[in-house]
Amino acid sequence: MFRKTLLRRACRFLVPCGLLISPLSFAQPVERIVKVIVAPDHPDWTYKSGEKANFSVSVLQNGNRLPKVKIKYEVGPEKMEPTKTETLTLENGQRAIDGGTLKGAGFLRCVVTAEVEGKEYRGLATAAFEPTRIAPTTESPRDFAEFWNAAKAEAAKVPLDAKMTLLPERCTETVNVYHVSLQNYREGTRLYGIACVPKREGKYPAVLKVPGAGVRAYAGDVAMAEKGLITFEIGIHGVPVTMDNSVYANLGAGPLNGYMFYNLDDRDQYYYKRVYLGCVRAVDYLFGLPQFDGKTLAVTGGSQGGALSIVTAALDPRVKYLAAYYPALADLTGYLNGRAGGWPHMFDSKNAAFNAKKDKIETSKYYDVVNFARLVTVPGHYSWGFNDETCPPTSMYAAYNVIRAPKELLLAPETGHWTYPEQVEKTNAWLVSKLVGAPKAEGK
């Protein structure tokens, strides 16, 4: 009865409010007085290979089309040089553009820039061509599993040394909030995060919240914990997550600027080794909490956090569910094969001169989300849009398509690197149903 009541309350309060992942966690587009609306002529934005895609373009102000607007448009495969460019005037504020087609699976993007009163306004739309047929360009190293099994075994030898500091000013009547420090994959290295634990005696499911890119403080998710879930929101950079924002700004602009490229020439020293293993250490921490039910654990995040959700689920069989928004770090070698690759675009035209070298390319394969996606065995919920310019949909589908575990994909085609509230609500509902509705461990 308690579990059914908890599920009803969780679905009532958690989902509408977006407490598992807030829409504000991701950068929403800024509204401007002039809007450039671009859309493919198929309602689902999806086409067959060889089928022509037309794009409609409208330039609006106050909801009305602007006449005699000068525009420039570019059409081509996403993130690649355009194959068609033209400048023209929209006599009545709208126009259809022949976008052509793709002969194979992929994405064709139309970017439109309008000039109004000396200012430029931009809009885009991306047509999908048989995206479920997109195959990865990266290859899994023969010793991929051995490399990561050895790395986990080595990390497991390091004492966890977890330290929890109560943060009274963040606690509520029903939840204790802690700043957590634990030892990462090597002695002397630390992982920090915010744990929110229900005060009421009992055993609870848990959610590991893994972060997007950048350097910042974290608040933890008190609201979720108030509904009967343990949450652990971690940082990845080995620094406390409760400092003044100016500290993170200085770190991001200084020693941690470009961290995603650090030691890319060495698979054992690459920056993300501490990050991926740190996620496993965070799971160790949750399994050591006496309030945890010992079984029901999910991992979730967006962008870099979407990548880390897939990686953690692949590396640690104790993870039972994952929910990932627009995962980064997928199919990194796409650019070396004439198409878009995943964030951080280490091999695109801007970075190739420095990074497109044999040792760095080989290292990337050990950290590419595609190669972790091949190993995922647990149910996953995924969500993204076709207009994402940070994590190209080509790269995300390259990872998604190799997943053989049960999976659900919630598409919002016109979204970029952001989410609609409805995406968050549906993802949260899925997570809550799995976590709160899942059976407890034996003897718990």
Residues identified as active-site: 303, 388, 417
> In residues, how long is the chain?
444
- Give me the helix-helix angle, 421-435 and 2-17, nearest 10°: 160
Tokens of 39: 């859309």
String of b and e for 130-166 (b: at least 16 CB within 10 Å)? bbeebebbbebbeebeeebeebbeebeebeeebeeee
The CA–CA distances, whole Å, from 231 to 49, 116, 283, 385 equal 44, 48, 11, 27
Number of H helices, E strands in the chain: 11, 18
Residue 285 and residue 382 in contact, taking contact as beta carbons nearer than 8 Å: no
CA contacts within 13 A on the Cβ side of 14: 26
Burial classification of residue 61, based on how many CB atoms lie within 10 Å of its CB (0-12 exposed, 13-18 middle, 19 or more buried):
middle
Using alpha carbons only, give the angle 351, 278, 10 rounded to the nearest 5 degrees. 110
Look at residues 148, 375, 402 and name the one whose alpha carbon lies nearest to residue 275.
148
From CA 201, how far away is CA 221, in angstroms rounded?
19
DSSP code for 283 = H
311-317-320 Cα angle (round to 5) = 85
Helix (H) or strand (E) holding 262: none
Do 304 and 328 touch, CB atoms closer than 8 A?
yes
Question: Coil, strand, or helix at residue 12?
Answer: helix
